[in-house]
Amino acid sequence: MKNILRNRFPFLSLIALVLGAGWCAAADQAVNEVLRPPKGAQVAIVVFEDLQCPQCRRVSPILEQASKTYKIPLVRHDFPLPMHNWSYDAAVMARYFDATSKALGNEFRDYIFSNQFEINPQNLRTYAEKFAAAHKIGFPFVVDPQGKLAAEVNADRDLGKAINLDHTPTVYVVSSRHPDKPYVEVDARQIDSQLYALIDAMMK
């Protein structure tokens, strides 16, 4: 029996090594995918946000202004937190407007942030309908009949989970100029003092 177990240990160790390597590769792939500038850019800001998160509301215009100031992309990912009771539905609605244009989807996200304190699960749809009407866009009774938009939100959330993200907003400055350190997280609580300095550093 001891000989059998002894012979199996190298095999079991090999399996563990292969599985471990596969997990690391998947984790690295997730990092490579999400914490890199989009094609054609050398530096970008990446944020994972929850539309019901007050800190996300505060940070959003700061990120947008930095994006305009430096002329670098702002890549926004949906990361609705489970303790919030309407953020997931709002993210799905944002994806509906994304289908018209990404700019319109982001405008809707900003609109939700600007009305965040008045929104609740019962009136969220009313706000979305007002936004759609103001932009002369129809807003269907069933926003996501096939679940495609929810799948997109879930994919964003899975990307965040793959890099062990657990809070919002989570903000990164990412760069292709520093292969040894291609991204750095910005402390959202100190974003006013950190963001521009980190962008400057990542652009050098």
**Cis peptide bond N-terminal to 10, omega within 30:** no
Confidence label for 12 from pLDDT (cuts 50, 70 and 90): very low
Tell me what the mean pLDDT of segment 84-90 comes to. 98
Which CATH number characterizes residue 45's domain? Answer: 3.40.30.10
The total number of structural domains in the chain stands at 2
- Whether residue 3 is predicted with pLDDT greater than 90 in this model: the reply is no
Tell me what the mean pLDDT of segment 173-202 comes to. 94
Do 122 and 62 lie in one domain? The reply is yes
What's the confidence (pLDDT) of residue 111?
98
What's the CA gap between 199 and 9, in Å, rounded?
Answer: 50
Name the residue range of residue 75's domain.
Answer: 37-203
What's the confidence (pLDDT) of residue 180?
87
Do 86 and 158 lie in one domain? The reply is yes
Do 166 and 92 lie in one domain? The reply is yes
Q: Which of 152, 151, 154, 184 is nearest to 170 (CA)?
A: 184
Confidence label for 24 from pLDDT (cuts 50, 70 and 90): very low
Do 90 and 102 lie in one domain? The reply is yes
Do 107 and 180 lie in one domain? The reply is yes
pTM: 0.83
Q: Give whole-number Cα distances, 188 to 22, 90, 137, 139, in Å.
A: 33, 22, 34, 34
Do 109 and 62 lie in one domain? The reply is yes
- Whether residue 40 is predicted with pLDDT greater than 80 in this model: the reply is yes
Do 131 and 156 lie in one domain? The reply is yes
* 170-175, strands of its sheet edge to edge: 74-78, 43-49, 170-175, 183-186
Spatial neighbors of 149 by CB under 8 A, at least 6 apart, are 92, 95, 96, 143
What's the confidence (pLDDT) of residue 31?
61
Confidence label for 61 from pLDDT (cuts 50, 70 and 90): very high
Confidence label for 179 from pLDDT (cuts 50, 70 and 90): confident
Q: Which two tokens stand for residue 112?
A: 């939700």
Q: Which two tokens stand for residue 111?
A: 């609109």
- Whether residue 17 is predicted with pLDDT greater than 80 in this model: the reply is no
What's the confidence (pLDDT) of residue 29?
53
Do 116 and 71 lie in one domain? The reply is yes
- Whether residue 174 is predicted with pLDDT greater than 90 in this model: the reply is yes
Tell me what the mean pLDDT of segment 73-100 comes to. 97
Do 110 and 160 lie in one domain? The reply is yes
Do 179 and 84 lie in one domain? The reply is yes
- Whether residue 4 is predicted with pLDDT greater than 90 in this model: the reply is no
Q: Which of 200, 196, 195 is nearest to 185 (CA)?
A: 195
* % of the chain exceeding 70 in pLDDT: 84
What's the confidence (pLDDT) of residue 5?
41
What's the confidence (pLDDT) of residue 33?
75
Mean pLDDT (the chain) is: 88
Tell me what the mean pLDDT of segment 109-113 comes to. 98
Do 86 and 165 lie in one domain? The reply is yes
Do 17 and 78 lie in one domain? The reply is no
